[in-house]
Structure 1
């Protein structure tokens, strides 16, 4: 009886190991190994204009979110120094807005469907501070039909938590599909962390450092799956807006998002 029990236990352990390995292989896309975009921000100057452009101004209705900042391309708000991209939100009156910041985009310069997109970032802190590393569909459709992937979105008043989210037709804004990831005994504003996705036709996986914390598939969305086209990259620090609320008397300015690198990998078979 005892021998039979050990044989049964050994068999179950083998099944569990095989099952866990197959799950890991499904979730982690080891084939995204061809580096197609790498910006290490090694030169102390403006961001590389062969990769990055800027959104300027306040956008319609505060970029659709009632944000308070005016985006500029000034070195006061965006520069490369000490091997990092620095995006700075400042409290200052500028063209009628009470704050300034920057929003970098690769629209028209780098756009890709599928792959691993990642950045190593130290985030800012404070009520009403809203940094993000995200993707938008490169087609001419209006939002949300064009699709949006928020690789990292963060409320400055919650320095231990980030979110990974997708928006599309039928599942946008308050109906978006999202999941949070929280640090234990640490904060995102006190050190660098790697935020990334691995994106294939049948899923989008969300990572913080080496932890997979969210997987979204076509079966998870209430409307059309629009993540089958090229997207471009955005990096910005917003101030205020529907997602984070207003800064308050305890919000310290300036606030900076520091980006060590941005890298994108692909699998040639998917492109």
Structure 2
């Protein structure tokens, strides 16, 4: 969770879909924005390159954008109205016509920025890939983004600017912007693509309990045969060593399995010989692991449980110092539970025919995952460890020697922080997000918003470099929510203002131990590391597809083992991610908990599901004795009374 540039991390993946053919007829009437009505040429004063890598030269009524190779992640041109804002309320979308004058395929993106219907800043973005010498179009419908999916509702009558940008490249990119126009009718929606349709199986049931697929939803490959017998699916796999499989898919689009941790399949061996069944679920992002059971004897039944969580945790690229979200090959998963395309069945090759009858396929929770005894009691690895921080929230009042409840809200402009939204009850702290008008930090001189939330961090009061950090939590339930448990650098008061103290360059790093987006459903979250600031030098790595099953009481326990050159994240006592590189932070950091809305891949909030609590049961940290330093520990200056915000001076 960065303090800025929240949209950038998802653009290269989300915008890679070609949206419209280059020969599509332009709708009429239109309203031009590159050359505004009444002008005969482009007004250069309205153009602003994103960096020195980018130059722009008019070519008649077109504009040639040249991007030199360099480090900027998303270089491009910002185009502003001569008399802001633009009013496109009579239209349904904005469209750019582009030509690739370069030598390599280029991913071109169109972003429309402006005020949302809620009165906040927002944007809608789409993109298309254009081959050298070819032309293409990219069209942004108001309120849709990243493949025409519902998104922030931009007010068409209040458009502040239009941005045309590409992605970082090692060669020069040259794009001619032939036109930018508003078109269509007010309220127009993008055409529905079948692959964008999402089908949520009632109760997670894909087969059985009154649910059966149609013939068109079943397919056998390489000689495998499949048929429906009542509510059961009969499968036959011929003898031989070559792979054979059967796929079950939705009638249209993809299954939405966000309310599931995995898939459970019950089947019976209807053949004359043992069967070793294998199952996986495919998705837009990639497949799950393959799940199997020991060979099942003829006439016997068995249940296969397939978790979305991978068997091999995500491993970051070893010794990497630059952005990479791929991880090492064969580690982690890229499965996306909101876009499951099929369930695939296969068997271990054999010299005999194998037949099975599948009775049920259900997506949901699986058998309870084991919780190790050490969880909450000590770090997960051996060593001479000392408990250095413990908060169980057993008191009715917050310990202000540890915690702040006031700071700037860098992430969610619709909400304000209030001490009343840090609720202490039943031995837990609840960061409560609710619709409640008030002032930021409960200060009448600050901005007033219609939503309130709670915040906790130890900035300026307690920090530690290295160690093991753990918290037990219950996540929010509503869409659009963005709770997180993370660490940020804090170099102390002597370093100066916050931007210097918390700078993630010069050896420091942001650790996102658990970062959940409500759109993903309760079983998936993000882990990440960010370093070298949040501008053009920003670097990041991690995984957006970390799956877990809550413990028997509905909690997730997330931990970070932070050692020199190594960061390991544990979920409910199981390793989920590991990264080894000399670039791991060596700067003391504070603990943070935020419960805001938004993020890079989220949906809108639902007032009906509020208040929505991010529950924190406990927070603990340990330090290994040989790693302890003067940088660690409580930092409240002598004589300074602890307050609701971090201290700003070392003197009383």
* TM-score, structure 1 as length reference: 0.76
Q: What residue number does 1:68 align with?
A: 414
Q: Aligned pair in 2 of structure 1 residues 242, 230: CA closer, same or farther (>3 Å)?
A: same
Q: Is the 8 A contact 1:147 1:166 kept in 2?
A: yes
Give runs of aligned pairs for residues 109-188 of structure 1, distance below 5 A.
109-139=461-491, 140=495, 141=500, 143-145=503-505, 146-158=508-520, 159-169=522-532, 176-179=540-543, 180-183=545-548, 186=549
Greater relative contact order structure (CA < 8 Å, 6+ sep): 1
Give per-residue Cα distances to partners, 1:217-256, cap 9 Å, x unaligned.
226xxxxx2610110001120123445343146x611000
Shift of residue 175, structure 1, vs aligned partner: 5.1
Please list every run of 5 or more consecutive structure 1 residues that lacks an aligned counterpart in the other structure.
1-27, 220-224
Q: Aligned pair in 2 of structure 1 residues 172, 248: CA closer, same or farther (>3 Å)?
A: farther
For residue 518 of structure 2, give the secondary structure of its aligned residue in structure 1: coil
- Counterpart CA distance in 1 for 2:384 and 2:515 is 23
Match of 1:203 among 555, 566, 575: 566
Match of 1:89 among 429, 433, 436: 433
- Counterpart CA distance in 1 for 2:384 and 2:567 is 13
Give per-residue Cα distances to partners, 1:159-185, cap 9 Å, x unaligned.
1112221110178899521123213xx
Shift of residue 55, structure 1, vs aligned partner: 2.6
- Counterpart CA distance in 1 for 2:535 and 2:602 is 17
Q: Is the 8 A contact 1:205 1:212 kept in 2?
A: yes
Q: What residue number does 2:397 align with?
A: 46
Q: Is the 8 A contact 1:171 1:177 kept in 2?
A: no
For residue 157 of structure 1, give the secondary structure of its aligned residue in structure 2: helix
* Structure (1 or 2) with the greater helix fraction: 1
Please list every run of 5 or more consecutive structure 2 residues that lacks an aligned counterpart in the other structure.
1-379, 440-447, 629-652
- Counterpart CA distance in 2 for 1:241 and 1:97 is 19
Q: What residue number does 1:102 align with?
A: 454
Q: Is the 8 A contact 2:531 2:539 kept in 1?
A: no
Q: What residue number does 1:8 align with?
A: none
Q: Aligned pair in 2 of structure 1 residues 240, 99: CA closer, same or farther (>3 Å)?
A: farther
Q: What residue number does 1:258 align with?
A: 615
Q: Aligned pair in 2 of structure 1 residues 228, 175: CA closer, same or farther (>3 Å)?
A: closer
Shift of residue 104, structure 1, vs aligned partner: 0.8
Q: Is the 8 A contact 2:474 2:616 kept in 1?
A: yes
- Counterpart CA distance in 1 for 2:622 and 2:469 is 7
Q: Aligned pair in 2 of structure 1 residues 147, 47: CA closer, same or farther (>3 Å)?
A: same
Q: Does 1:228 align with 2:586?
A: yes
Q: Is the 8 A contact 1:68 1:240 kept in 2?
A: no
- Counterpart CA distance in 2 for 1:206 and 1:171 is 23
Q: What is the RMSD computed on CA atoms of the aligned residues?
A: 2.7
Q: What residue number does 2:595 align with?
A: 237
- Counterpart CA distance in 2 for 1:206 and 1:232 is 17
- Counterpart CA distance in 2 for 1:266 and 1:187 is 27
- Counterpart CA distance in 1 for 2:556 and 2:528 is 18
Match of 1:193 among 523, 547, 556: 556
For residue 232 of structure 1, give the secondary structure of its aligned residue in structure 2: strand
Q: Is the 8 A contact 2:405 2:422 kept in 1?
A: no
- Counterpart CA distance in 2 for 1:32 and 1:108 is 27
- Counterpart CA distance in 2 for 1:33 and 1:206 is 18
Shift of residue 32, structure 1, vs aligned partner: 6.1
- Counterpart CA distance in 2 for 1:242 and 1:112 is 29
Q: Which moved more, 1:252-261 or 1:135-144?
A: 135-144
Considering only CA atoms, is the larger Rg found in Structure 1 or Structure 2? 2
Q: Aligned pair in 2 of structure 1 residues 172, 150: CA closer, same or farther (>3 Å)?
A: farther
Q: Number of paired residues? A: 229
Q: What residue number does 2:442 align with?
A: none
Shift of residue 40, structure 1, vs aligned partner: 1.1
Q: Is the 8 A contact 1:46 1:78 kept in 2?
A: no
Q: Is the 8 A contact 2:564 2:584 kept in 1?
A: no
Q: Aligned pair in 2 of structure 1 residues 247, 199: CA closer, same or farther (>3 Å)?
A: same
Q: Is the 8 A contact 1:32 1:115 kept in 2?
A: no
